[in-house]
Structure 1
Amino acid sequence: MSEYDAVLLLSFGGPEGPDDVMPFLENVVRGRGVPAARLAEVAEHYHHFGGVSPINQQNRDLLAALRIALDEAGIDLPLYWGNRNWHPMLADTLRQMRADGVRRALGFATSAYSSYSSCRQYRDDIEVARLDVGPDAPEIEKLRHFYDHPGFVEPHVDAVKAALGTDRRATTRIVFTAHSIPTSMNDASGPDGGLYRAQLRVVAGLVSAAAAPDVPWDLVWQSRSGPPQVPWLEPDVNDHLRALAKEGVTDVVISPIGFVSDHLEVVWDLDNEARETAAELGLGFARAATPGTDPRFVSMMRELVEERLYASSSGRRLAPWDGSGPSCRPGCCPAPVRRPAN
């Protein structure tokens, strides 16, 4: 008998209507000192889409696809879904799991990389939710990072190939993007310049080598939201597009390798803002797709579950061992030291 009795999809969450937007954003930035003007600006991005985040339906679709994949593999574990910042809130989901008799579950977070916000914060939020639920709250063991798993990388490869097309010019550049984080958070995620940035460079290299080894590429950042005096990873994608135009680049393919699906940060920050920047500069612009519910990505999720169910140590990886481990270690991805602003 398995020592696990459920699988929990862990995600960021997003508003389901206009009235949800500001309460959701306040949950996201609570205690981080994000300027009110920036919060209002981001709120308008959600209102552009009717106040509905695309991430919610994407998670519903992902759960439905995973249910089929688990059933086909003979894995009869119930699926649950809990968010960090909006309904279904993680604590409410854990209460339902407890009521259903779940004692110990595997948690899949919709984030592939190592950093506090993309890894450790999920674990911290799980413990806060368990305290909220109280006695007999289910234990949740977060599954490993999957940035270099073929099921994550290969959909990105095919998406870049499709975005490049067959009639590309010698002055084309691939621009890989990921959510910017404070440099202190990146530095805290691991050695050698931080695991977060290092892992993203690994994926960019893997995707580029398989999709178009003859096309130069860059890794840049998007969607920063912190106080302006706090250093974040740079350059910003829009600043980078301006620099490329000055270098003589004529066409760009934007590949959001930092994301598993078309979050709001993809459909607004790239499909709207970066596309507008490219148009102003006269750059040809194409945006590569994210994995979403690609069957290879869903199969990867099933494989990660199987690794833990059957104590497998042979999980598929495309990159050399980086020390991030087959599962999250107790001390992984610590929070950065917060220094008071000058």
Structure 2
Amino acid sequence: MSEEELPYDSFMLVSFGGPEGPDDVMPFLENVLRGKNVPRERMLEVAEHYSHFGGVSPINEHNRQLLAAIRTEFESAGVDLPVYWGNRNWNPLFPDTLQQMKDDGCRRSLAFFTSMFSCYSGCRQYRENIIAAQEQVGEGAPIVEKVRMGFNHPLFIETMAESVQNEIDTLGVVTSDVTVLFTAHSIPMSMADNCDYEKQLREASRLVADKVGASDWNLVYQSRSGPPQQPWLEPDVCDAIAEMDDQKKIGHLVVVPIGFVSDHMEVMFDLDEEAADLCQQRGIKMGRAKTAGTSPKFVQMVRMLVEERIGKSQQKLAVGELGAWHDVCPADCCQYTPRRPQGVRPT
């Protein structure tokens, strides 16, 4: 039987990983930066971000909660796939997870990446990491195929729209009186030029803004970590807030980390601390929308994307102008060859 004829027999949650205590921070960052020419000063700067939160990234605990929610969703919908979890940079690491899957008899797995938008670091690099882990595990390592990107799935859009509306309601104003800034992790322009990251982000942001009736919105970026001479996607969220406030005086602002599935370290530090502090200094009333997290509709979306691939559903739901994204990434999809030293992505 060929690989394509093997039935899907498992599900794998694929994520970045993060430290779970002070002693984990430097080993974790060394994993992230292995093979990259990044100054130690930059590593120490990022490590300081973690110290604000006891050296613990929220991402691993989020993934445990997401795994539990997915298991429950699968069971209630009759999706008979055991659920596994593997990370790029911290335990459980891909080789360990694939070895466990091999030992359990898994041969072909479907994966959901905790990255909703296409770029090298959010898609292709994960696939390269998994291939390297398969080679490490050796003969019999399970095949791993990702489900399609769900950036314009109606349940993702509804999840984020509800989150934005909740913050508008909390601020106690009408939507027309609120500025909405959608944020995502910045990436080098040389990476952005070879993927659909910006296009997908702008489409998802537009769809959410339309859903809540927000006309005053924009897409901005955060967490840039490359050297100053390397162009990255802009504007930065704090720069954008300051510039907009100088131009028209922002009264109420909702910041929406649409590019993040959960409250990563970047969300907590860059938005909940830096952006919030800036808004307080300028007298702007700011609300920060929740990430998708383990909201029921988001978990349902994961299950529906899996059902598409296992043949349990004939529907490929998508809203907006871009349509349902491809199931199988083209060979040249999201290619990236760094021209200068890369930065650190704390999570």
The partner residue of 2:50 within 46, 49, 53 is 46
- 1:89 maps to 93
20-29 or 122-131, which deviates more:
20-29
Cα–Cα, structure 1 residues 37 and 337, in superposed 2: closer, same or farther, change >3 Å?
A: closer
Alpha-carbon distance in structure 2 between the residues aligned to 1:105 and 1:212: 40
- 1:37 maps to 41
199-208 or 274-283, which deviates more:
274-283
- 1:301 maps to 302
1:33-70 deviation per Cα after TM superposition (whole angstroms, max 9, x unaligned): 33322221211111211111101111001110110111
- Report the CA distance between 1:142 and its aligned residue: 1.1
- 1:320 maps to 321
- Report the CA distance between 1:31 and its aligned residue: 3.0
Cα–Cα, structure 1 residues 290 and 268, in superposed 2: closer, same or farther, change >3 Å?
A: same
Alpha-carbon distance in structure 1 between the residues aligned to 2:39 and 2:153: 37
Contact 1:14 1:55 in 2 (8 A): yes
Cα–Cα, structure 1 residues 171 and 36, in superposed 2: closer, same or farther, change >3 Å?
A: farther
Cα–Cα, structure 1 residues 339 and 186, in superposed 2: closer, same or farther, change >3 Å?
A: same
- Match of 2:193, SS state, is helix
TM-score by length of 2: 0.92
Alpha-carbon distance in structure 2 between the residues aligned to 1:300 and 1:101: 27
Alpha-carbon distance in structure 1 between the residues aligned to 2:29 and 2:44: 9
Contact 2:257 2:291 in 1 (8 A): yes
Question: Which consecutive segments of 4 or more residues in structure 1 shift more than 3 A?
Answer: 168-171, 321-324
- Match of 2:286, SS state, is strand
Give the gaps of 5 or more residues in structure 1. 190-194
TM-score by length of 1: 0.93
1:133 aligns with 2:137: yes
- Report the CA distance between 1:171 and its aligned residue: 5.2
Alpha-carbon distance in structure 2 between the residues aligned to 1:6 and 1:243: 49
80-89 or 169-178, which deviates more:
169-178
Alpha-carbon distance in structure 1 between the residues aligned to 2:28 and 2:338: 25
Cα–Cα, structure 1 residues 32 and 280, in superposed 2: closer, same or farther, change >3 Å?
A: farther
**What letter corresponds to residue 151 of structure 1 in structure 2?**
L
- Report the CA distance between 1:155 and its aligned residue: 1.1
- Match of 1:319, SS state, is coil
1:218-260 deviation per Cα after TM superposition (whole angstroms, max 9, x unaligned): 1100011122221110111111111011012222110011011
Contact 2:227 2:341 in 1 (8 A): no
1:104-123 deviation per Cα after TM superposition (whole angstroms, max 9, x unaligned): 10111000111101110110
1:153 aligns with 2:154: no
Give the gaps of 5 or more residues in structure 2. 343-347
**What letter corresponds to residue 276 of structure 1 in structure 2?**
D
Cα–Cα, structure 1 residues 305 and 171, in superposed 2: closer, same or farther, change >3 Å?
A: closer
Contact 2:146 2:327 in 1 (8 A): no
Alpha-carbon distance in structure 2 between the residues aligned to 1:289 and 1:326: 28
- 2:245 maps to 245
Cα–Cα, structure 1 residues 169 and 124, in superposed 2: closer, same or farther, change >3 Å?
A: closer
Contact 1:66 1:302 in 2 (8 A): yes
Alpha-carbon distance in structure 2 between the residues aligned to 1:156 and 1:169: 15
Contact 1:24 1:85 in 2 (8 A): yes
- 2:345 maps to none
1:256-303 deviation per Cα after TM superposition (whole angstroms, max 9, x unaligned): 110111111111110011101111222111101111111101011111
Contact 1:171 1:249 in 2 (8 A): no
Alpha-carbon distance in structure 1 between the residues aligned to 2:101 and 2:251: 53
- 2:105 maps to 101
Alpha-carbon distance in structure 2 between the residues aligned to 1:162 and 1:154: 12
1:79 aligns with 2:83: yes
- Match of 2:226, SS state, is coil
Contact 2:160 2:291 in 1 (8 A): yes
- Where do residues 140-289 of structure 1 align in structure 2 (5 Å cutoff)? 140-165=144-169, 166-168=172-174, 172-189=178-195, 195-213=196-214, 215-247=215-247, 248-289=249-290
Contact 2:109 2:143 in 1 (8 A): yes
- Percent identity over the alignment is 51
Alpha-carbon distance in structure 1 between the residues aligned to 2:113 and 2:334: 14
Alpha-carbon distance in structure 1 between the residues aligned to 2:35 and 2:237: 27
- Report the CA distance between 1:32 and its aligned residue: 3.2
- Match of 1:188, SS state, is coil
Cα–Cα, structure 1 residues 89 and 233, in superposed 2: closer, same or farther, change >3 Å?
A: same
**What letter corresponds to residue 9 of structure 2 in structure 1?**
D
**What letter corresponds to residue 186 of structure 1 in structure 2?**
A
**What letter corresponds to residue 272 of structure 1 in structure 2?**
E
Alpha-carbon distance in structure 1 between the residues aligned to 2:42 and 2:338: 23
- 1:17 maps to 21
Contact 1:32 1:226 in 2 (8 A): no
**What letter corresponds to residue 238 of structure 1 in structure 2?**
C
Alpha-carbon distance in structure 2 between the residues aligned to 1:292 and 1:126: 24
